[in-house]
Amino acid sequence: EPIMPPDLSKCHDANAPALDNHCCPPYSGSDTILEYDFPATPLRVRRPAHLVKDDQEYMDKYKEAVRRMKNLPAEHPWNYYQQANIHCQYCNDAYYQQNTDDVPVQVHFSWIFLPWHRYYLHFYERILGKLIDDDTFTIPFWNWDTKDGMTFPAIFQDAASPLYDPKRDQRHVKDGAILDLKYAYTENTASDSEIIRENLCFIRKTFKHSLSLAELFMGDPVRAGEKEIQEANGQLEVIHNAAHMWVGEPGGYKENMGDFSTAARDSVFFCHHSNVDRMWDIYRNLRGNSVEFKDKDWLDSTFLFHDENEQLVKIQDCLDPTKLRYTFEQVPLPWLGNIN
Ligand code: C2O
């Protein structure tokens, strides 16, 4: 059976010491759950973070939207920190799967990693767009698969901006340090150009190895009632972890990006995941758009979110981003090389 949404009335203290264990949303008890009405909006185009930097009009909108999200009442489901807590709820064991006493709903380490984060970003983006009344608004992607995108995106580095977060590893986010896609709290001492080359080769190999077997790229199956096991994650998730570790503080709970419970408090989280989502989209295209898993337990997995109309909705079917009405700006893929 597919993974189903939890009973929202039964949220309990998460395994989240960095947040003092608590990340449950306010619960009113009266929410009706509707099927999500897919938007009939113009196709919105996500662009690379290092290129939107000079688009003043766009940057003003982005900052204004996040500022408004931060200024919403603390209990509002769209509030910036409520939005961030969603990640904690689904990653730090705040909910158990229905009909179990101890099997957490966990959206990492399996084949639901990519779908769940796709939905999460979609709603986050739609809510930001709503807050500034712009149906075409998109969050940018951290284009870490190309040389010019392999540093921490500068748009998140202005201390006066709502996109700023002080809880980061300052050695990495300052001064154009090169992101190491194999980072795990040990500094790579190779030269910048060598790290760039290693990153591109790593991405190329990942695609090459996993093109014919989706488990390798996306993660292994997990079904209702089953606990995820960490080693079952796909290679894209492994790569994505490196950026989390590289951005978060080096000590303590590795806040914000380095800990599941706090990661989404840093706006760069969504920008990073936008590129993860893009990698999946590219993977799908390279496979001729063939469905990754024909298994109903993957296709029918269902999730709950507060949508852009403040409605609690259940959603399934995210295989084609254009159904959610977004796409990615086409930029060069320097790692693709002779992948065929
Ligand atoms: Cu839910 Cu980047 O992790």
CA dihedral (197, 198, 203, 207) positive or negative: positive
Per-residue b or e along 254-279, where b marks 16 or more CB atoms closer than 10 Å to that residue's CB: bbbbbbbbbbbbbbbbbbbbbbbbbb
Stretch (H or E) spanning 314 = strand 312-315
The answer to whether position 5 is within a domain reads no
CB 35 within 8 A of CB 314: yes
Q: Which domain holds residue 168?
A: 17-328
The answer to whether position 336 is within a domain reads no
Helix (H), strand (E) counts: the chain: 10, 5
Residuewise pLDDT in 10s, the chain (340 residues): 999 999 999 999 988 999 988 999 998 776 799 999 999 999 999 999 999 999 999 999 999 999 999 999 999 999 999 999 999 999 999 999 999 989 999 999 999 999 999 999 999 999 999 999 999 999 999 999 999 999 999 999 999 999 999 999 999 999 899 999 999 999 999 999 999 999 999 999 999 999 999 999 999 999 999 998 988 999 999 999 999 999 999 999 999 999 999 999 999 999 999 999 999 999 999 999 999 999 999 999 999 999 999 999 999 989 999 999 999 999 999 999 864 4
DSSP class of 233: B
Please tell me the predicted confidence (pLDDT) of residue 124: 98
Please tell me the predicted confidence (pLDDT) of residue 259: 97
278 Cα: distance to centroid of ligand 1 (angstroms): 14
The Cα 47–Cα 238 span in angstroms is: 23
**pLDDT tens-digit series, residues 144-177:** 999 999 999 999 999 999 999 999 999 999 989 9
- Is 61's C-beta closer than 6 angstroms to any atom of ligand 1? no
The answer to whether position 3 is within a domain reads no
The Cα 129–Cα 141 span in angstroms is: 16
Is 108 known to be catalytic? yes
The answer to whether position 219 is within a domain reads yes
The answer to whether position 310 is within a domain reads yes
- Is 118's C-beta closer than 6 angstroms to any atom of ligand 1? no
CB 95 within 8 A of CB 89: yes
260 Cα: distance to centroid of ligand 1 (angstroms): 7
132 Cα: distance to centroid of ligand 1 (angstroms): 26
Is 244 known to be catalytic? yes
Single pTM value for the model: 0.97
Q: What is the ipTM of this complex?
A: 0.99
The CATH number linked to 158 is: 1.10.1280.10
Q: Catalytic: which of 108, 172, 272, 306?
A: 108
Closest atom of ligand 1 to CA, residue 276: 2
The Cα 63–Cα 68 span in angstroms is: 9
The answer to whether position 71 is within a domain reads yes
Please tell me the predicted confidence (pLDDT) of residue 340: 41
Structurally, the chain folds into a number of domains equal to: 1
The answer to whether position 4 is within a domain reads no
The answer to whether position 1 is within a domain reads no
- Is 91's C-beta closer than 6 angstroms to any atom of ligand 1? yes
Is 12 known to be catalytic? no
- Is 122's C-beta closer than 6 angstroms to any atom of ligand 1? no
Ligand 1, atom 3, residue with closest C-alpha: 260
